[in-house]
Amino acid sequence: MLLSGKRLLVTGVLTEASIAFSVARVAQEQGAEVVLTSFGRPMKLTERAARRLPRPPDVLELDVTDPAHLTRLTEDLGARWGRLDGVVHAIGFAPPSCLGGDFLKAEWDDVATALHVSTYSFKALAAAALPLMKEHGGSIVGLDFDARQAWPAYDWMGVCKAALESTCRYLARDLGPFAIRVNLVAAGPIRTVAARSIPGFSAFEDAWSARAPLGWDVGDADPVARACAALLSDWFPATTGEMVHVDGGYHAMGA
């Protein structure tokens, strides 16, 4: 199996509709041992979703904006496994003022929250994983929404994703000497809880259905999960700093 013997940390599972849930499912089907993270009120939702995976995994408490949580994560995984082979970063949040089409209304405090949770956390999670990966290498995969252009209603989350893409390249530079690969999967729109909170999300659905040459199913995260599993495996040993599009080919179309 593709991920036989791998020990993976998967963040961002909220419900069965989460892309990260599909990633965890495919990873288990391919032989990986998985641990999830969550915190606060969503913890119960994550635990409920975990019970629906092929092998219900443990859910560790992790607020990626809290340094103490990140330190404890390293300690917990070190005691549990002694090593870590892969990490999935599927974390993003923006206050309501940062979304919806009025780009100019967001104040710095809200933008700072969005950047901290959605972008800086990628670096923070990589730093927490490094002590458990530096001796043998591994793979860090983040979920992206192609930020090379402006999208309707996406606003400051688009800025966060653009910064995420840059962060990926710098992490690839600095972690490469430890044989740690860092890549992003730029997914087409998937109808997750987070996506439904974006005003005007239906505009993405309509555009993708009409323009993606391979077609696109907003209710099917499996293609994205398979791409993540491939990047977490040993089959991409020389690929890092990359953004892999899993969007039905939409990104390649001019009109």
Can 154 be counted among the known catalytic residues? yes
Which residues, 6 or more positions from 36, have their beta carbon under 8 angstroms from its beta carbon?
A: 10, 11, 13, 20, 24, 46, 50, 57, 58, 59, 60
Which listed residue (44, 120, 123, 161) is catalytic? 161
Cβ pair 211, 5 in contact under 8 A: no
The phi and psi torsions of 14 (rounded to 5 degrees) equal: -115, -55
CA 233 to chain centre: 16
Please say whether the beta carbons of 90 and 25 come within 8 A: no
- Whether 250 is catalytic is no
Which of the residues are catalytic?
Answer: 154, 161
